[in-house]
Amino acid sequence: MPESQQLRDAVLQHVNGPNYQPVKPAVIAKKLGLVGDAVHELKMTVKRLVKEKRLAYGPSHLVYAAGESPSQKQAAAKTATKATAKAAFKSALNSATEKQSRPAASQEPNIKTEQPKKERSKKTGPPGITKRSSNHFTGTFRRAAAGFGFVRPEGTSAAAGRDADVFIPMDKTGDAASGDIVSVRLESKPGRMGKLEGRIIDVVSRATSRFVGVYFEQASMGLV
C-alpha cells in the first residue's frame, strides 16, 4: 500500500507541535484517531521518516523531532567538546610560539626572528632541533598507572581542563616519569576517540633524580 503523503504530513505536524511529548508510534496513532491497518501504516511511516532524519528514535523507541533525541544531543555535545579541546590546544601552541619568537627590547630588527628561537632551543628544545614547528611542543608529562600518560603543553591555561592534554600511548612514553618536562612530536592522525596523540622524543628536564628499583648485574654491568 503506497504511503500517504497526508499521513506523513500529519505525523510531522504532530511530533513538531509545541505541546508534543515523546511517545511510541502506537500512541501517536491513537492521538491521530487511527485504527486497524492504519496503525501499521503509521509505524512504517515513522520508520521511513527516521531514516530520512526528519524524526528520531529515543530510549524505549520513543519518537522525537529531528535533533531532539537524547542520543543526538549527546553526540552534538561530544562533538562540541572535542572542537573546544582542539581549539584550546592550538591556542596554547600559538601562544607558546609567539613567546618563543618575541625578541628582546635591545635586539636589532633584523634579528627578531632568529636569535630568540636559538636561545629558547638551548633551554627547552630537544637535541638537534633548533627551530620549533607546529607538530612539536614542550610540556609536563603525567604517567598513569597503566603505563600510558598525558602531556600538558606549556602555556596552557588551567581553565582549559584535561581536554587540552595530549595522549601518549604506553609504547611512546620512552623513559619519561611523571613531572618531567618533555619534548613531544604530534602524530599525523588523531588517536583514540579522536583525541590528539603524540610521542615523547626527549626528556628536557627530570622532575626527580632519585628512583626506587631492583638492582641486578648483567654482562659485567650493574643495572636497576
- Pairwise pLDDT comparison (189 vs 17), residue with the higher score: 17
What are the pLDDT digits (tens) for 22-81?
A: 999 999 999 999 999 999 999 999 999 999 999 999 888 899 998 776 766 666 666 777
Residue 217 near residue 172, CB atoms below 8 Å: no
Residue 158 confidence (pLDDT): 75
Residue 193 confidence (pLDDT): 61
What is the mean pLDDT of the segment spanning 203-222?
Answer: 84
What is the mean pLDDT of the segment spanning 77-104?
Answer: 70
Residue 89: pLDDT band (50, 70, 90) is confident
What is the mean pLDDT of the segment spanning 86-92?
Answer: 75
Q: Which amino acid is at 139?
A: G
What is the mean pLDDT of the segment spanning 127-136?
Answer: 51
Residue 48 near residue 11, CB atoms below 8 Å: no
Residue 83 confidence (pLDDT): 75
User: Can you tell me the distance from the alpha carbon of 202 to that of 161, in angstroms, rounded to the nearest whole number?
Assistant: 25
Non-local CB neighbours of 204 within 8 Å, separated by 6+ positions = 124, 125, 126, 138, 180, 181, 182, 183
- Pairwise pLDDT comparison (146 vs 106), residue with the higher score: 146
Residue 91 confidence (pLDDT): 75
What are the pLDDT digits (tens) for 147-190?
A: 899 999 998 887 777 778 888 999 999 989 989 999 999 987 77
User: Can you tell me the distance from the alpha carbon of 61 to that of 141, in angstroms, rounded to the nearest whole number?
Assistant: 45
Residue 132 confidence (pLDDT): 42
Secondary structure of the chain in the HEC alphabet?
A: CCCCHHHHHHHHHHHCCCCCCCECHHHHHHHCCCCCHHHHHHHHHHHHHHHCCCEEECHHHCEEECCCCHHHHHHHHHHHHHHHHHHHHHHHHHHHHHHHHCCCCCCCHHHCCCHHHHHHHHHHCCCCCCCCCCCEEEEEEEECCCCCEEEEECCCCHHHHHHHCEEECHHHCCCCCCCCEEEEEECCCCCHHHCCEEEEEEEEECCCCCCCCCCEEECCEEEC
